[in-house]
């Protein structure tokens, strides 16, 4: 039983940061979507602007994600006293917020192109997609960096 204690401790420690990552990703994605939906509504964003908009949101996402990632890393270091967990959480935060802002930029434009009202569809769709993405990113990074054996 003792050989599983390290894995169990890591799983519990990983679970502690799930709400932080999902919440940050959801907020970033929803904010990006709100900006794009507004741009579509007032004519600042056209359907052909998808790559310009995604590039802008990517840069915002990587900047905000890095700042939040550093804070998350510090939080993990202070609360859990684990540099490996801190790096895992920090990298996951950077990736999650960056992916969320890009999804927040893309999904309203796709909804508009498909004939759906992006203001109605974007919020629930982004929240769901970002929640799933954030968990896949987090546990993907954790599996690569942390030893569960």
pLDDT tens digits, one per residue of 62-92: 999 999 999 999 998 898 888 888 999 999 9
pTM comes to: 0.88
In order of their start, the domains of the chain are 17-145 (1.10.357.20)
CA-nearest of 30, 34, 33, 11 to 22 is 30
User: What integer pLDDT is reported at residue 70 of this predicted model?
Assistant: 96
Question: pLDDT averaged over the chain?
Answer: 89
Instruction: Give residue 4's pLDDT band: very low, low, confident or very high (50, 70, 90).
Output: very low
Among residues 12, 123, 129, 105, the alpha carbon closest in space to that of 52 is found at: 105
| Cβ contact 90:70 at 8 Å | yes
- Using CA atoms, how far residue 126 sits from 8, 104, 137, 139, 144, in Å, is 32, 6, 16, 20, 26
Q: What is the pLDDT of residues 7-42, one digit of tens each?
A: 546 678 888 899 999 999 999 999 999 999 999 999
**18 contacts: CB under 8 Å, gap ≥ 6:** 135, 138
Residue 135 pLDDT greater than 70, yes or no: yes
CA angle 140, 141, 147 (to 5 degrees): 100
Smallest Cα–Cα separation from 13: which of 109, 102, 106, 78? 78
């Amino acid at each position: 039983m003792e050989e599983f204690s390290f894995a169990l401790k890591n799983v519990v420690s990983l679970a502690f940061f799930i709400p932080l990552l999902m919440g940050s990703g959801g907020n970033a994605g929803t904010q990006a979507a709100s900006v794009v939906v507004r741009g579509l509504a007032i004519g600042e964003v056209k359907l052909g602007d998808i790559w310009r908009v995604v590039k802008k949101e990517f840069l915002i996402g990587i900047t905000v994600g890095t700042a939040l990632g550093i804070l998350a890393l510090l939080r993990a270091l202070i609360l859990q006293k684990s540099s490996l967990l801190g790096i895992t959480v920090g990298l996951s935060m950077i990736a999650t917020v960056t992916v969320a802002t890009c999804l927040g930029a893309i999904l309203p434009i796709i909804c508009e192109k498909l004939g759906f009202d992006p203001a109605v569809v974007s919020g629930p769709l982004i929240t769901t997609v970002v929640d799933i993405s954030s968990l896949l990113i987090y546990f993907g990074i954790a599996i690569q960096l942390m030893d569960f054996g």
